[in-house]
Amino acid sequence: MDIHEGQVARPDNVSPELVYDYDLFEAPREIRSTYQIELVRKIHAEAPDIFWTPRNGGHWVFTRAEDIDQGQREGDLFSMRDVILPMGQSPQQNIPLETDGPEHLAYRAILQPVFLPNQVLKFEAEVRELAIKLIEGFKPRGHCEFVSEFAAVLPIEIFMKLAALPAQDREDLLTWSDALVHPPSEEQRAWAYGHMAAYIDNLMVERARGEGADVISLIMRAQVFGRDLTREERVSMIYNVLLGGLDTVMSTMGVVARFLAVNPGHREQLRADYKLIPKAIDELMRFHGATGTARVITRDVEYKGITFRAGDRVLVQSMFHGQDDRRFPDAGSVDFHRKDVRHAAFGQGKHRCIGAMLARLEMRIFIEEWLQRIPEFHITEGELPVLERGMVNSMRKLPLSWPV
């Protein structure tokens, strides 16, 4: 294939028939359908199961559930040490996300107490109270912009409580994290990192004694491998916690709300049986698969007849996993009674998302309280949702309306 601007030449270990032009990053675009799912189906139909793209520094892409399972579980071959594409985009190592094996487990254990079931359930009343307050605030006017008025508020305010951060810092943190995860330019990414780093420095001074019960204080007083954390380790862990708590739930809420807005039959199923909501959340996460990470190949290896070289990057996107009809019969349909909904959106194995239970709690309460108060809603006439594809597929705008 021809090499265009922004692409790299095919390396010697990549056979020509394994090259497929795929760019995971796209500028925000208006959508009339599940655009990202249609893209997955197109790739499943015409691309190799494992292909190499010359975009974003050149990397492999796993498109089938079997290989994505391997990529998420086999850390000895598929390392998490650099999870963002193109390579080298993170200004620092993100701990514990970008660590492997015993090292990862040791760092992860520091955060675990905050996310134990008995701790997460303590937030249920606060999550519900906030969800009701937000919905009742815009319900009388018959419309809202869902992302900015709900999805960008509820999970983030709960995270602010978990980290004992001042409520007035929410807008700044959201702006910085958005520019880090969805950077419009490298200059914006650098600007956001500078502000986030300064914020973390102030937090570390404020909580130097580590006496609180919040997750930041927990990191400040933690030990690993029989010693105190270094300053660099503390900065990295706080940075990782802030980014993890400020983006992915918001993105998932957006795609779920859009689906329910255009599928009244599925809404009615949930309204008729609220006990179905937890299963529905997993099915909707399976269907959309909003999250993705990269892996680094740790050694030269032959995998399914393909030659991987040490240092090669592999993209693992959960949207490919959930739409694989070899794993999920009729994968393109949403079935709230589906028996197997073991999706990859929270990761798997040692790197399974530590905040998965809190995310599910927030999603469940959002659906319960929304359907109780706004049972009939739709995309606002004359407007379209806006989707941005990247390491995380995110709704940037979702205009919703309902009868008053």
* Per-position DSSP letters for 57-107, written without gaps between them: T-EEEE-SHHHHHHHHH-TTTEE-S--SSSTT-SSS--TTTT--HHHHHHH
Tens of pLDDT along 37-68?
999 999 999 999 999 999 999 999 999 999 99
pLDDT at 263 over 70: yes
Provide the CATH number for the domain formed by 16-401 in this structure.
1.10.630.10
Reported confidence tier of residue 6, pLDDT bands at 50, 70, 90: confident
Tens of pLDDT along 370-387?
999 999 999 999 999 999
pLDDT at 246 over 90: no
Reported confidence tier of residue 4, pLDDT bands at 50, 70, 90: low
Q: In what order do the strands lie in the sheet with 378-379?
A: 143-145, 399-401, 378-379
pTM over 0.85: yes
DSSP string, 247-281: SHHHHHHHHHHHHHHH-HHHHHHHHH-GGGHHHHH
| Whole-angstrom distance, CA of residue 124 vs CA of residue 218 | 22
How, if at all, do strands 78-79 and 292-297 pair?
antiparallel
Average per-residue pLDDT for the chain: 93
Distances (CA, A) of 351 to 55, 59, 73, 356: 26, 21, 8, 11
Percentage of the chain modeled with pLDDT above 90: 83
Beta strands in 188-260 (DSSP E): 223-224, 227-228
